[in-house]
Amino acid sequence: METKKKENITHADLFFSFFVLGLTSFGGPIAHIGYFRNVFVKQKKWLDEKTYIDFVSLCNFLPGPSSSQVGISIGYHFKGISGSILAWLGFTFPSAIILMIFGYTILNLDNSISHGALQGLKAIVVIIVLQAILGMGKNLLKDYFGYIIVSITTAILILFPSSLNQFLCLVFSGFLGLIIYKNEKQSEIKKNLKFKIKLFSLSSLFLFFSLLFLLPFLSETLDSHILNLASSFFRIGSLVFGGGHVVLPLLQEEFVSSGMIEKDIFLAGYGAAQAIPGPLFTFSSYLGIFFKSEFSVLLISLLCLFFIFLPSFLLVIGILPIWQELKEMDIIIRAFKGVNASVIGLLVAAFYDPIILSSLRGLEDIMLITIAFVVLFFTKVPQWLAVFILSISGWGISSFWS
């Protein structure tokens, strides 16, 4: 397939293409990757199939929001750092702005937001996360070892919930994967690997690890609220394996369990994030509206958005040049079999708390969850429309009950 030459693609072309995708890409990261392929491989013919698949493979390997990372990779491929930034801005800001407005409305005009509509948003989250657990389990759990890792992770995080334990479960599961699957031949182990790493790529990886360890130290030492938020969102953006839904338990443990965000507000925003196009990580901009600070809510919201995506930029730029070698290493494949199973355990634990414990409080909640189950499992209604249906249903049931 003949592709368009790199030099013929302008910065404006990149930004506008991703901006349109940011306005129209409903359905979550898997759907986003389909949208990207349709636009850049089939319609515009900017990329050939193999190059695009390489980008997708890399972003499934890295922690972070896979669809956003594919976009960053495409932008970097054509225009370097400036291209990756424009691709991210175009794809991210439509949903971020919508969620910021939604959060600001709840914060300042609380009486205008129907309690029933918020109940509907919480109910849809129950079924959306259930779908994610079932789908990921079907695709990633191929033997009983995987189910054992899921069970252990779930039990630990329900009994001893903490962000540290989430991280330790992921690391420990990676080591278990190395041991359990050592006799399985995943691929030919490449010998004499010769990585040609550009200085800039090396610098981005160094900055990633430096921030991961320095930000917690600086926030603790300087007792800075801003640095504490930056550290939290950067760490969460660095630890999300398995898709955008996995950000839910990490954010919940960090901000709901600590009392910084109310459970109902948290789940309502997460439900609203399902109804709009673009990446689920823009949920961070919604949360930023509710953090108390001497700075404006807009600044805090943008700071949260920036730091949750920053790890993705640094990792893509650092690893993209050596991905062809890394993806064929046996040790990487084995470790990630364990990590992927642990990720499902994280979701199961979050499904229990806060989702089930916060969303099952009475007959209204049971009715709304049942409606959500029927709509998402037995109809072909797109997910964004299902969210609106549940919001209206919640409003209607609440009005009838009162």
- pLDDT digit string, tens, across residues 95-143: 999 999 999 888 877 555 667 877 887 888 788 878 878 887 887 888 9
Whether 364 contacts 118, CB under 8 Å:
no
What DSSP string runs through 159-177? HS--HHHHHHHHHHHHHHH
pLDDT of residue 386: 85
Mean pLDDT throughout 154-165?
86
Q: Which of 358, 368, 332, 348 is nearest to 263 (CA)?
A: 358
CA atoms within 13 A on the CB side of 70: 28
- Per the structure block, which two tokens stand in for 42? 């089939």
Q: How many CB atoms lie within 10 A of CB 333?
A: 16
Whether 124 contacts 385, CB under 8 Å:
no
- Per the structure block, which two tokens stand in for 291? 């953090």
Reported as a pLDDT band with limits 50, 70 and 90, residue 381 is: confident
Q: How many CB atoms lie within 10 A of CB 170?
A: 22
Highest mean pLDDT among 47-56, 213-222, 355-364, 382-391: 213-222
Whether 142 contacts 288, CB under 8 Å:
no
- What's the CA gap between 286 and 266, in Å, rounded? 9
Whether 371 contacts 102, CB under 8 Å:
no
- What's the CA gap between 37 and 266, in Å, rounded? 33
Locate tokens 């370097």: which residue? Answer: 80
Backbone angles phi, psi at 81, to 5 degrees: -60, -45
Residue ranges of domains in the chain: 89-188+199-401
Q: Which of 267, 390, 364, 250 is nearest to 308 (CA)?
A: 250
Q: Which of 270, 274, 231 is nearest to 254 (CA)?
A: 231
Q: What is the DSSP letter of 188?
A: P
pLDDT of residue 164: 76
- What's the CA gap between 84 and 70, in Å, rounded? 10
pLDDT of residue 232: 94
Rg of the chain taking only CA atoms, in angstroms: 21
pLDDT at 300 over 90: yes
- Per the structure block, which two tokens stand in for 396? 């209607």
pLDDT of residue 186: 52
pLDDT at 200 over 90: no
Question: Coil, helix or strand for 324?
Answer: helix
- What's the CA gap between 156 and 161, in Å, rounded? 7
pLDDT at 346 over 70: yes
What is the overall mean pLDDT for the chain? 85
pLDDT of residue 191: 46
- What's the CA gap between 93 and 242, in Å, rounded? 23
Reported as a pLDDT band with limits 50, 70 and 90, residue 242 is: low
pLDDT at 2 over 60: no
pLDDT of residue 92: 96
Mean pLDDT throughout 208-219?
93
pLDDT tens per residue, range 180-191: 988 765 544 454
Percent pLDDT > 70 in the chain is 90
pLDDT of residue 170: 84
Residue 169: burial class (beta carbons within 10 Å; 0-12, 13-18, 19+) = buried
pLDDT of residue 15: 95
Between the alpha carbon of residue 39 and those of residues 23, 83, 399, the distances in Å are 14, 17, 44
Residue 137 one-letter amino acid: G
